[in-house]
Structure 1
């Protein structure tokens, strides 16, 4: 099998037959397109999500904290705490492990959450450091937003700029090659994207705004996230290429490596659907968060509209990062 997420059909089949006992206390159950499960505890709910870092060789501690917290934020909830598993390859040093854990601790403190526990070991089962985290959040009952709530007629909004995370990973991991076609200022810009990959602020703003659906844009990029949200919500969508916010350095990186920024991992950008997109964009802009309306939720299939053509968006394959 190739690197990357399992394809939609295989993963659907695996999840369908392996849910254990369905509990009445769980309001949002496991399912494709859903970032989190939501458990009811009376007046409050627990929001929980888990993800590993496998596609990056740098900044893995900081990325691990943020991509998991972003899942919680996609429910409109601030994270409370994080559990960390580190699998280190043979030959690594205690300093290597400390460096990753220091990064995790510093980022957790910056995001106002506690490191609740976890597990660390050296194992021949991996050939590079793997960090997997589980994050939990707490909110009042029935407040958390699901990815499956998109409604026909909703505006589709994205925050910040697409493929920032992928651009940062590529420039860091392929630095020598990047220096041949990017200026020093462009390299610094790409390196700085790591400081903008949290979507906690926009997630909580959108939660208060009572948007219909949210999904943080991770592996598979914008088109993967759109397809997953539409499938979970039983709707379609139409988005316009000329409205998509993409930084020039990202365009140059993607052109050089012959990959699409629309299918490149994009932590730092939140996908949102809401009835009054213009009002939400204004609120986000007041908070200093760039936001763009890129299309509408429709009744049927997903469409990407270009300058002279339209194409149907197919189920997400593996992320473009794995194609380099």
Structure 2
């Protein structure tokens, strides 16, 4: 089988295809023929050698993938040959409180940038019937992070999303499914039409309006947003503190920009808001989200799709940060 391995982190030139023997299926395992995989910004950080959680070299990249079961190991009851399945971001966190130890792709488990993957049956979930493999491959990290970030939103709430990456796009879709009003920020007015089509109710160009927290206040009658899906980190968190409604929640899901204004601790305190770090979610959360995706017939937004042989171009596309939705690799 053909498989990508990254032999030296920090050097994209070492991410190359090689031929390896097809693995044998053991008890409790599945052999999945991968049909599609998708990239997250985490994958860029790993490839650059900046990921802080001990990723090993010579790994198979990508945590997010979808495929069809080719072989089933002894004792497996959850799935059968021919089932369509997708990955769960944390392969051993099935539900409940975040465990102290969570297995990760590209550390304890090889990833999905391969023709076949050998994996525990417990690390997978079923694909919603209406989705293609390419669409399904976008769900495990970005979609579940967005789902967790808007958990608890109720009809009539105002949700603020930042930018047009995978998490932010999914957050718009889920927030609308939950009956919320959505304010979306973007760096380009050219994306206004696409954001409106997804359901965004109000739009802010943050390049033209650098103090966008003022626009958020204006759009909410001075109250602020009930929920903010905060993906920018240091680059945006100070303005998110100024944009949140008293008693609201800022869901912190990323740090796309490492430089920005310092947080005003008194403004943070007097916001009386909850600042919650989102750690993607567990398999039970993923299954719940998939039911919502099916019930609302939500279709992931794919920015671009690349052939398996052209995986490096997919990395380059996402690294440019000029995307609208998810970048996918098609097997």
Question: Which protein is bigger by CA-based radius of gyration?
Answer: 2
TM-score by length of structure 2 reads 0.24
TM-score by length of structure 1 reads 0.24
